Amino acid sequence: MNQWQVGDVKITRVVEMEVAGGTKFILPDATRDACRPIDWMAPHFMDVDGNLIMSVHALVVDTGKRRIIVDTCIGNDKQRNIPAWSHLQTSFLSDLATAGYPRESIDTVMCTHLHVDHVGWNTMLVDGEWVPTFPNAKYLLAEKEWAYWDANEDDETYGPILADSVRPVVDAGLVELVDETCQVCDEVCLEPTPGHTPGHVSVHIRSQGQEALITGDCIHHPVQMTHTDWCSSADFDQSQGQITRQSLLDKYVDQDVLIIGTHFATPTAGYIRHLDSGGYWLDVS
């Protein structure tokens, strides 16, 4: 678990899994030979052999008045077409409670987009039925994102994601469709970061003159800061994704804005800096 204080807002990371290797299917350009020379990534984001390290985690944004969970990982009991993600039995909910956030205390769920590893704990299996994990929360989905997936449901790639992790909360009346620039509360707003998916958003936190940005998957891994042209195989529009990534890096480089990666391994957060050799890197010192 990591925690960061941004003004009066506390942000807590709750990890479902963190692993090295196995990322070539997501970032095909990021081979071991290509990554090893990028020495700033070791030891946090790359092991000694050049394998990328990635994390699947949720982030709880606690303003004191609101408890917002951003992205809900893969989830337990779900049939997925990636064996390592199928029928998981993790301690995620108990870890969340141990961090001080029992599931009943969450009042807002925010999904940056509707991919398999960002919606899983929207629901949980109870007596053979998928029910909302966070019964007292509103689930915020970008309207453009939901409209796309509602019309283009895909069970073949990863499994029945909408059926087991999204439609049950829609049917329960807990979903609120919002604009990609939605002001969630005084301290939290959404920022459009399209390309990975049509309605992808990042989450911007501001409090007491301090700022943080939760990326979602517009940057899957910090290596994409140095190689902005390394696109994810899961990107809906790789060209738009690269434009978004470059724009975000240009906007926040050398600014005092804490960048919290949705898949960045421990320590997960840092500041975008220029590399002398070109491109950018993530300063976690």
Distance between CA atoms of residues 93 and 50, nearest Å: 32
Report the number of distinct structural domains present in the chain: 1
Residue 23 is predicted with a pLDDT of 77
CA 246 to chain centre: 18
Residue 195: give the domain boundaries: 2-283
DSSP-assigned states of every residue in 19-38: EES--TTT-TT--HHHHTT-
Helix (H) or strand (E) holding 219: none
Looking at residue 282, its pLDDT comes to: 98
Secondary structure E strands in the chain: 2-6, 9-20, 53-62, 67-70, 108-110, 123-126, 129-132, 138-142, 175-178, 183-185, 188-192, 201-207, 210-214, 257-260, 269-274, 280-283
For residues 45 and 50, give the distance between their C-alpha atoms in angstroms, rounded to a whole number.
9
**Residue 134 CB neighbours (<10 A):** 25
Q: What angle do CA 143, 146, 152 make, to 5 degrees?
A: 140
CA distance 207 to 46: 32
Q: What is the distance between the alpha carbons of residues 50 and 151, in angstroms, rounded to a whole number?
A: 39
List the CATH number of the domain containing 201: 3.60.15.10
Q: What is the pLDDT along the chain (285 residues), one digit of tens a residue?
A: 799 999 999 999 999 999 998 777 899 999 999 999 999 999 999 999 999 999 999 999 999 999 999 999 999 999 999 999 999 999 999 999 999 999 999 999 999 999 999 999 999 999 999 999 999 999 999 999 999 999 999 898 899 999 999 999 999 999 999 999 999 999 999 999 999 999 999 999 999 999 999 999 999 999 999 999 999 999 999 999 999 999 999 999 999 999 999 999 999 999 999 998 889 999 998
The one-letter amino acid at 60: V
Residue 166 DSSP code? I
